[in-house]
Amino acid sequence: MQDIFLGRQPILDRNQSLVAFELLFRSGQTDAANVTDDVFATASVIVNAYGELGIQNVLGQRRGFINMNAELLMSDLVYLLPRNQVTLELLGSVEITGEVVRRCIELKQMGYQLALDNVTELNDQIKPLLSIVNAVKVDILRLEAEALPCVVKALQLWPVLLVAEKVDSAEQASDCMALGFHMFQGYYFAHPQIISGKRADPARLALLQLLTLIMGDSEATDIEQEFKHHPDLSYNLMRMVNSVACGLPQKISSINHGIVVLGRKQLRRWVQLLLYPAGRSGSSMVSPLIQMAATRGKLMELIAVVDLPRDKDYQDRAFMAGILSLLDALLGIPMRGVVDEMNAPDDVRLAVLERKGRLGRKLALIEAKEKNDVAAVQRILGELAFLGLGDLTTAELEAASWANRIGETVH
C-alpha cells in the first residue's frame, strides 16, 4: 500500500462563495509542494484526483484548476480531463510561443477553459493569449502596492476573469476587492487542504506491457485479459471511466465495457499518465492480496461459465465481483466506497456488500473454500445445484494457474 496526497485550495468569488479549487501536488501531509518535475507533479495530481481518490470526492460540482507546463499542454494527455470540469492553468514558466498560442486556440475551440498563472505585468509575452484565456491569475505578492492598480487596469481591457492569488491578509483582500478582482485565492481565505488516500501502486512493467498491447492494436480481448491480471488497474480503470464519462445512461458492467466506453486512444493516454507516478515507486513485486483478488475473479468467472455458459456479460460481472471483493483491504477504504466509486452493477453490489444474489452466493462459496469450511462449502453447493465439488476443485486449479502467471508478466 502507498499513501497518496493531493492539495486542494479554494477559489472564492466576490461574495466569498466557493466557486473552484486549485488542485496541487503534495507528497505528504504538509503545505509544501516540493515540486522538482512539473510533468510528474501534474500527472500525479490527475491520477490521484481522477483515478485514485475519485473526482466527485475531490471537486464535487466545483471546477478544478490544474497546472500545465508546456510539455503537458502540447500532449494528448490533456484530453483525459473533462472539459466541463477543469481549467487548464498555464504555469508562469511556459514560454508563450506561436505554437503554444495555436494550441490554446485549439483547446479553447474544443471547449476547454484556460488560465494564465503568476501574472505580474501586461507584457508582449502574454498579450497574444489574453483574447483566448478565460482567467488571469495575478500574483499580488510579487507586485509592489503601487504597481498593482496599473496591472489590474490594463488587464480589465481584456475579456478575462481576474483572480487575485496569494492573498494573505485582510488588507490585501480589501484592496483586491476594491480594485475589481472577480475571484480570490490565498492563505487569508484558506490554506490548501490535504486530501489523502491509499493506493496499491501498479508495477511499472505491468503498465508498460499494457501500453504495448494498446499501442500495438492488440485485440480488445487481449487488453481485457491483461487488465484481469491486475485487479488494482481494473479498479482504477473503472473509476477513471466513471469520472470522465459522468452522466452515462448505463452502468459500466465489465472491464471490456469500460475499455469500450473510454476508447482505445483515451485508454492509451491514461496508461501513459499512470506511468509517471508508477515510475517513482521502483517496485515490480506483485502483492499477494492482488494475486488473491485475481484468483477470486477468475474463479468467479469460471463458475459463472458453468452456470450461464452463453451469458458473457454475466461472466464478466462475476469476474468484477471477484476482484472487488478484496479491494477494500487492498486500497484501505470501505467496500461501500469501492462499489460507489465504480458505479458497480446492482448484482455485483449485492454480491460484494451482502454476499446475496446469484453472484453473492458464488462469492460466499469461494470464501468458504478459502477458509476450508467444509460444511459451508457443501451447503452452498447444495443451494447452487449446478456445481459439484469436483467441478469446483478443477476450476480452483485453473484459476490458481491463471493467477500465478501474473508474476510472469511483471518480472
How does residue 409 score in pLDDT terms, banded at 50, 70 and 90? very low
- Residue 16 zone, left/alpha/beta (φ > 0; ψ -120 to 50; rest): left
Q: How many CB atoms lie within 10 A of CB 76?
A: 12
Q: Which of 222-231, 305-314, 322-331 has the lowest mean pLDDT?
A: 322-331
How does residue 307 score in pLDDT terms, banded at 50, 70 and 90? very high
28 and 108 share a domain? yes
Q: In this predicted structure, what is the pLDDT of residue 181?
A: 96
268 and 166 share a domain? no
Q: In this predicted structure, what is the pLDDT of residue 39?
A: 76
Q: Percentage of residues in the chain with pLDDT exceeding 90?
A: 41
Inter-residue contact 9 to 22 (CB < 8 Å): yes
17 and 65 share a domain? yes
Domain ranges, residue 310: 202-410
How does residue 167 score in pLDDT terms, banded at 50, 70 and 90? very high
pLDDT(281) > 60: no
Residue with more model confidence, 406 or 224: 224
237 and 178 share a domain? no
How does residue 285 score in pLDDT terms, banded at 50, 70 and 90? very low
187 and 239 share a domain? no
Task: State the CATH number of the domain containing residue 76.
Answer: 3.20.20.450
Please provide the average confidence, as pLDDT, over all residues in the chain.
83
How far apart, in Å, are the Cα atoms of 9 and each of 42, 60, 85, 237, 353? 15, 14, 16, 27, 35
pLDDT(121) > 60: yes
Residue 139's beta-bridge partner residues? 165
Which of 175, 197, 219 terminates a domain? The answer is 197
117 and 246 share a domain? no
274 and 133 share a domain? no
145 and 176 share a domain? yes
Q: In this predicted structure, what is the pLDDT of residue 335?
A: 86
Which of 147, 175, 197 terminates a domain? The answer is 197
161 and 309 share a domain? no
Q: Which of 18-27, 71-80, 273-282 has the lowest mean pLDDT?
A: 273-282
Q: Which of 89-103, 274-288, 334-348 has the lowest mean pLDDT?
A: 274-288
pTM for the full predicted model: 0.62
pLDDT digits (tens, 9 = 90+) for 169-204: 999 999 999 999 999 999 988 888 887 766 555 556
Task: State the CATH number of the domain containing residue 404.
Answer: 1.10.3210.10
Contacts of residues 33-39 at CB distance under 8 Å and 24 or more positions apart, as own/partner, are: 33/7, 38/67, 38/69, 38/71, 38/72, 38/91, 38/93, 39/69, 39/71, 39/72, 39/276
Q: In this predicted structure, what is the pLDDT of residue 326?
A: 83
pLDDT(209) > 60: yes
Q: What is the mean pLDDT of residues 160-167?
A: 96
Nearest-CA neighbor of 347 among 332, 361, 367? 361
d(C-alpha 394, C-alpha 298), whole Å? 12
Q: What is the mean pLDDT of residues 308-322?
A: 89
pLDDT(136) > 90: yes
Pairing of strands 2-13, 193-199: antiparallel
281 and 192 share a domain? no
281 and 403 share a domain? yes
Which of 141, 174, 197 terminates a domain? The answer is 197
pLDDT digits (tens, 9 = 90+) for 40-92: 788 778 777 776 677 777 888 889 999 998 988 998 878 888 888 899 999 98
- How many domains does the chain fold into? 2
Residue 334 grid coordinates: 470501505
141 and 239 share a domain? no
Q: In this predicted structure, what is the pLDDT of residue 95?
A: 92
How does residue 249 score in pLDDT terms, banded at 50, 70 and 90? low
Residue 20's beta-bridge partner residues? 11, 63
Residue with more model confidence, 385 or 407: 385
